[in-house]
Structure 1
Amino acid sequence: MIILRNIKKYYKLSNESIEVLKGVSLHLQKGQLICLLGESGCGKSTLLNIIGGLDYADDGEYIFHSINVREFNEKEWACLRREKIGFVFQSFNLIPHLSALENVEMSMTLLGKSKEERKRRAIELLNMVGLGDKLNYLPNQLSGGQKQRVAIARALANDPDIILADEPTGALDSENSARIMEILKKISQQGKVVLVVTHSQELVSYADRIIRMRDGKIIENEDVAHATEVEDVDKSIGNKSKKLDLLTTCKLSFRNIKNKKWRNILTALGASIGIFGLSIIMALGNGVKQKLSSSIDEATAKSSLTVANEQFAVLNENDSARLREIKGVRDIYPYNPFQISMKTKEGAKATSSAESLSPRKYAEIIYGQKYIVKGRFPDDQRDEIVLPERIAKKLFKDSKEAVGKNVSLVVQLMSLKEIYPTVNVHATIVGVVKNNSIPLLDMVGISYGLSQKIMKESIGNSTSALSFTIIPSSIKDIAHLKSEIKKMGYKVQTDEESQNEINEYISLASIALGMLSGISLIVSSIMIGIVLYVSVLERTREIGILKALGAFRSDIRRIFVTEGMLIGIIGGVFGILGSIAVGKAANYVVTTVMKKSNLDLFQFSFIQVVLLVLFSGLLGVLASFVPANKAAKQPAVEALRHE
């Protein structure tokens, strides 16, 4: 069944090569309990590790079921261990955060057996070793003898051909030692090879065969009892390369996160800072864009064109004349923005932005039907204005009282190129208009005639303007007009395009702020990487256990990558919840405390929230690659020796 021929093993110490196994030859038969005796350092554990594929011979032949397996690669050895080899260790090597039942199930999970089959087999084996009442106990709730019985049950889970026991009674008292050896004896009588490495002479009485080693050589190989007769069924060596399933991977990762919950919670909180910043910025951008969109009447957004000089210089009569010559122009009139201070007879004051209104005949085209909510649209020939509801309430407490009242105005033309003198005028409030969705965009409307009077006093010409509004003959003419006006060297756009331009600036600002949050994300990713690196060091023995059970490198890597992903997702959820709490609180302050109704500045998108959480998980995955690769590359034999 198992034949070793001239097996040699060397270890390098500094520049010196030390021969640990010196041409060991051995034939292991079914149905025997074999005791491998020898003093510490004689090479017996090294030989056991080579038989189990945890270590590799440097020379010689290793025949397993008529196949020379010495040249097997790491993955082929993992498949062989899954199906054909069971391990029992002196220090038990149970995974601490799994129950007795789950520890036994683990090797079957790696082999790809169904959940029902795993559970049935694990319960059967634990009952066999007398632990049917301890199924859900964690290793730290079991005695040493009980732990070793769980380890034996785990070793038998996939019905292997050979059980390799390295000092299985070394950490037990005499009573438990006897019980463990009796179990191993019964296993050998079922037709399996049971190889027990020990230096205890007391265990010899259980052996069917005794092999003694000294200085890397076998010095005695004696049968002391007849092997149990077993039908020699030569099982083929499979190559079941089924990977650890996602559910088990997540369970192992989540259990470790739970075991170190405070450390991982703090790490997740650190990871949440960047997501919090991005979420708040995106929510604010959503809110501002939505309010800008709602402030423009869809029916009027494309009904007129605004024309300005590329250098933001004042346009004059010559510019107006040139523009009127374009086919498709119905009318053209000046448009000017102002900064305005208002004062009532009672002494109430308010400051606001203002704009020159269109001639009355175009009011519905430019502003829509619902522009005026109280009163009327200003007369072109009179000194009249309209106020947003918000400003009317500020000046008169009740916006209804504003209509018909006279106010003193100090008006200044707003320009990016020059500072213009202020103009003092008086005007009558004849209407109240709906509030803009964004208070900063509330505009006082100045009648067409009054605005021309202000321009004449300000720059000496009533027909000059910072921009012109063009009314097209038909909406179908918009594209043609834009093309012709651009050819003439002017800047031209509709209200809708103005809004889109503002949205672009908001997006750029969001990106700039998001880059600052990106620094936090980089730092948090490094934090996750460090925490996982520490986790790898702490769980080195667990990595060795999983490899001894037949886990592939990819399985080990996936466990730690999944752990990084889970920490990232938890951090993302923390960040999202924090940003929603802050955003909702800010909205409450603005709408309730500051009495700015319907002004939800922070608006969260479900899709954006989900994408941010997934992005946080992706960062966790990226951060985990280095520690996960380190874990995957750990040699099994060295990992099992780790303290």
Structure 2
Amino acid sequence: MLELKQIIKDYDSGNEVVHALRGITLSFRENEFVSILGQSGCGKTTLLNIVGGLDHYTSGDLVINGKSTKDFTDRDWDEYRNHSIGFVFQSYNLIPHQNVLSNVELALTLSGVSKEERRQRAKAVLEKVGLGDQLYKKPSQMSGGQMQRVAIARALVNDPDILLADEPTGALDSATSVQIMELLKEIAKDKLVIMVTHNPQLADAYSTRIIRLLDGAIVDDSDPFDAAALEEKKEGVRKGRPSMSFVTALSLSLNNLMTKKARTFLTAFAGSIGIIGIALILSLSNGVQTYIDSVERDTLSSYPITIEDSSMDMSVMMETMMGLNDEADTHADDNIYSKAMIKDILETMSDKMENNNLQAFKDYLESEDSTIDDHAKAIEYSYDLQMNVYNTNSDAGLVQVSPNQLLDDLGFSTMTQLSESFMGSNASSQNEVWNKLPESETLREEEYELIEGHWPSAYNEVVLAVDENREITDYALYALGLMDPQEVVDSFESLQEGGEVSLSDPTSYTPQELLGMEFQLVLSSDLYRNVNGIWIDMSEDEDFVQEAADNGETMRVVGIITPSEGSSKREVGGIYYTSALEEHVIEQAEASEIVKEQRKHPDINVFTQTAFGEDEEFDITTLTPQQQMQFASMSQQELAQYMADYSENRNATYEGNLERLGVVDLDTPSSISIYANTFEDKEMISQLIEDYNLTQQENGDDTNVITYNDIVGTMMESVTSIIDMISYVLMAFVSVSLIVSSIMIGIITYISVLERTKEIGILRAIGASKKDISHVFNAEAFIIGLISGLLGIIVTLILDLPISMIVEHLTGVANIAMLPVAGGVILVLISLALTTIAGLIPSRIASKKDPVEALRSE
């Protein structure tokens, strides 16, 4: 099974060549006890190392089961040592920081044996050598004979074909030597045992074959064997690449580090100083940024990026008005001259007023091409949908809640319209007490907190909003009909006439009084009466409106909400409905008779029964007999209303009529509000809109270009950049200590390599590859890096507490030092990466150590 053919081994020693082996030719049987005798320096150990694959011959050939080893790679030799060879050394060569069981298991871990199986096999072989009760002792707690038995158990655990023993009794007393020889003799019944010894008496007593060497050559063989005469039963070396798992490498390194606890802690602490510095800067930066973000988030919640269907760049308007005095003309005489102001403003408004194609932009937002959603916490769509809501239970009688009539009754409708023309739908919503809740739950939860009842779960359920002090303005109370709005009108008229304001005293309500409050919803189409095929607007007929309200759908208050803590929203009070109600109203409008008729006859105006585009004045003489009969059946009031409608609607359009009747296309919003996650996201959204505009222009679709007003503007935009810049500079400065500590850890790892040189030799002897050796020391650097990182984070978290308390005492801002979880994890990973890189050179040095030289080190 094992054959040496003309093995020559030469060593370079300075300028000389030492001939350790001179043409050794030997063959061994599968099971025999061979003793190799000779004086010191005759080549016995060299021969043993070559047979064991620890050392390589200069020339000749080592044949294993008929297979030459001339072309063996390092990986092949590792497999050979792990599967076919078991080493027993004179100095035992046990790993001191591993217990008996772990020392024996080590060879099996390289073979990829499962934890349960290797534990069973290691225990079995220790029982065999008589150490079944010594499993968890450290080598330092055992006698010489016991340690040698552990070494034999380790050599046998992988069931090798060959057991190599180098002076196995050299360090033992006579009685213990006999016990070890008896054990080897027993093993030789099933395996090939080759022993190097200086003791000819033991060799004669126990060996079945004795080979004597002198000056690197065989001088005697008591029982030669001709391998060629034996039929080969095996071919090659047992396969199965040995590989040490990283877990095993971690275990070896951790046990070694635990034997030097003080040095390990000091090294890790020194390595953590840089981590502590960066983590503290990151904590402060994160705390400040969190505070800024909270302010920005609140601001952005109230002031999103809003895109109206008709929009004007207000910055251009302001520049125009501010620049009126820049182009002043000088006049030679004393006359008074007019100056073009209105003309400039009107021309600017005309030039800068843009109609946005929100349908195309909505399609873009909902397409895969858009990444705006990645930077937005919510995108809200608004529609030009008028909801007619009435309070029929008010003490003041029928009160119209929506659209809010209170300002109209006071004569402020013109101002409201002017505000809407400049500010869009946001301005009108400030005057309304019947508004829509955010559709996004994230935005809803950020803006509002439920304090009574529950959130709406059906389209006909609404909530009442109060401010953070559980107060609601009297404006909202009058507008909702909880107080008589006529009081406000009367007081205003009295004030104009020089009288005094006379309003009801402030009052309070229990939640039970407000919960369950009901309002009636009336569709716009329900405010028209069909008189013999002619639709007449009855919105000014109080009795008709009262009947329509009585028959309207009931909206019930089911909850009371208030602005969330920290929200910048200022609530005056009012009712909030959900998008489900909006969709319901749109569906009902489509199902109404008047809308169906208008859609059925898109060229006929349902309010005038004339074709769209006819501008003639109403002339009863031009009516057909059928139309005359229709008008004849009308009451005088209905006829008067028709005449008024005719005058108002004779220039109407098909689309305008549908909008008037509450028909809304959900694909065409009147405005889009984009709520950004952060200030940076807001800027990114603005950039993405600009990119969208550029794409539309390149495609020739200029009508799809979007114009919008960012109300927040540039508020606080530079604060984040300044904080980041300061943080980066400080972290870069502190990072120098990380580099220094990494170099120090590299030096400590190299010292560990020097201290564990013999362990390197032991691992190589049982089949560990160079890569496995690298893993061991990489694992040590990894452990130190992990301890450094975790220690740095722990110290930082401890220091964050007093820092936050001091800052809060001085500024009132709480939790200013907060280490983000992601930042802590990244810093630990950085520590791991730097220490692992620092350990690469020492680990590479360790992997290149000659196993024979490593075993000889002390």
In the alignment, what sits opposite 2:211? 211
2:798 to 556, 572, 581: 581
1:266 & 1:319 partners in 2: Cα distance?
Answer: 72
Partner Cα distance (2:84, 2:163) in 1: 9
Quick check: 1:150 aligned with 2:150? Answer: yes
Partner Cα separation in structure 2 for residue 3 and residue 48 of structure 1 = 13
Counterparts of 1:499 and 1:622, CA distance in 2: 41
Mapping for residues 294-333 of structure 1, pairs under 5 Å: 294-296=294-296, 297=299, 298-300=301-303, 318=325, 325=348
Report the AA paired with residue 739 of structure 2: I
The answer on whether the counterparts of 1:305 and 1:494 sit within 8 Å (CA) in structure 2 is no
Shift in Å, 1:129: 1.0
Partner of 2:87: 87
Instruction: Call closer, same or farther: CA 1:168–1:70 in 2, change over 3 Å.
Output: farther
**Following the alignment from structure 1 to structure 2, what is the Cα–Cα distance between the partners of residues 76 and 124?**
28
Aligned equivalents of 1:301, 1:260: Cα separation in 2: 60
Partner of 2:43: 43
Distance 2:19 2:157 in 1: 35
Letter in 1 for 2:726: A
Determine the C-alpha separation between the residues in 2 that align with 1:268 and 1:306: 60
Deviation readout 1:552-590 (Å, 9 max, x if unpaired): 111111111121111111111111111111112111223
- What residue ranges of structure 2 are gaps of 5+ in the alignment? 307-311, 317-321, 328-340, 355-421, 431-446, 448-465, 474-565, 567-670, 675-684, 691-708
Range with greater deviation from structure 2 (62-71 or 521-530): 62-71
The equivalent residue for 2:196 is 197
User: What pairs up with 1:228-627 in 2 under 5 angstroms?
Assistant: 233-234=233-234, 236-296=236-296, 297=299, 298-300=301-303, 318=325, 325=348, 495=712, 497-591=714-808, 593-594=809-810, 596=812, 598-627=813-842
Deviation, 1:494, is: 5.9
Aligned length: 496
Q: What CA distance in whole angstroms lies between the structure 2 residues aligned with 1:525 and 1:305?
A: 56
Q: 1:140: which partner in 2?
A: 140
Given residue 599 of structure 1, which amino acid in structure 2 is its aligned partner?
Answer: A
Kindly indicate whether the alpha-carbon contact (under 8 Å) linking 2:20 and 2:215 is maintained by their aligned counterparts in 1.
yes
SS of the residue 2:30 aligns to: coil
Instruction: Give 1:504 deviation, angstroms.
Output: 2.0
Q: TM-score, normalization: structure 2? A: 0.53
Structure 1 SS opposite 2:34? strand
Residues 178 and 373 of structure 1: is their aligned pair in 2 closer, same or farther, counting only changes over 3 Å?
Answer: same
Kept in 2, the 8 Å contact 1:5–1:23? The answer is yes
Q: Tell me the amino acid that sits aligned with residue 722 of structure 2.
A: Y
Structure number with bigger Rg? 2
Structure 2 CA distance, aligned partners of 1:31 and 1:294? 80
Other structure's SS at 1:27 match: strand
Distance in 2 (alpha carbons) for counterparts of 1:47 and 1:323: 105
C-alpha distance in 1 between matches for 2:231 and 2:725: 78
The separation in 1 between residues aligned to 2:22 and 2:734, in whole angstroms, is: 62
Structure 1 residues 476, 210: CA separation in 2 closer, same or farther (over 3 Å shift)? closer
Rounded to whole Å, the distance in 2 between the matches of 1:633 and 1:131 is 35
How much identity, in percent, do the aligned residues show? 40
Distance 1:168 1:372, change over 3 A: same
- Whichever residue aligns with residue 758 of structure 2, its letter is R
* Distance apart, 1:498 and its partner CA: 3.6
Deviation per CA, 1:525-558, whole angstroms, max 9, x where unpaired? Answer: 1011011000011001101100100011111111
CA contact (8 A) 2:83 2:239 kept: no
> Which digits, 9 at most, give the CA deviation of each residue in 1:247-268, with x for residues without a partner?
2122112112212221121111
- For 1:252 and 1:323, the matched residues in 2 are separated by 82
Flag the 1:329–1:317 CA change in 2: closer, same or farther, 3 A.
farther
How many Å separate the matches in 2 of 1:68 and 1:50?
Answer: 14
How far residue 476 of structure 1 moved from its aligned partner, in angstroms, is: 8.5
Amino acid at match of 1:238: R
Residues 369-395 of structure 1 show CA distances to partners (whole Å, capped at 9, x for unaligned) of 999999x9xxxxxxxxxxxxxxxxxxx
Residue 101 of structure 1 aligns with which residue?
A: 101
Describe the shift of the 1:318–1:274 C-alpha distance in structure 2 as closer, same or farther (beyond 3 A). Answer: farther
Instruction: Say which is worse superposed, 248-257 or 59-68, in terms of deviation.
Output: 248-257
Are the structure 2 counterparts of residues 90 and 318 from structure 1 closer, same or farther at C-alpha, using a change threshold of 3 Å?
farther
State the match for 1:396 in structure 2: none
**CA 70–499 in structure 1, closer or farther in 2 if over 3 Å, else same:** same
Corresponding residue number in structure 1 for 2:21: 21
Change (3 A) 1:57 1:224: closer
| CA gap 1:42/1:599 in 2 versus in 1, 3 angstroms | same
Q: C-alpha separation between the residues in 1 aligned to 2:250 and 2:290?
A: 40
Match of 1:384 in 2: none
Q: 1:272 to 1:494 in 2, by over 3 A?
A: farther
Q: Distance in 2 between matches of 1:75 and 1:607?
A: 41
Which SS does the other structure have where 1:137 is aligned?
A: coil
The Cα shift of 1:163 comes to 0.5
TM-fit CA distance, 1:294: 2.3
Which amino acid in structure 2 is aligned with residue 198 of structure 1?
A: T
1:420 equivalent in structure 2: none
Q: Distance in 1 between matches of 2:467 and 2:740?
A: 51
* In structure 1, distance between residues paired with 2:283 and 2:77: 53
Q: Which amino acid aligns with 1:138?
A: K
Contact kept in structure 2, 1:93 and 1:151, CA below 8 Å: yes
Call closer, same or farther: CA 1:500–1:74 in 2, change over 3 Å: same
Distance in 2 (CA, whole Å) between partners of 1:62 and 1:184 is 24
Root-mean-square deviation (Å)? 3.7
SS in 1 for 2:251: helix
Between the aligned partners of 1:240 and 1:563, the Cα distance in structure 2 is 27
Q: So what's the TM-score if we normalise by structure 1?
A: 0.71
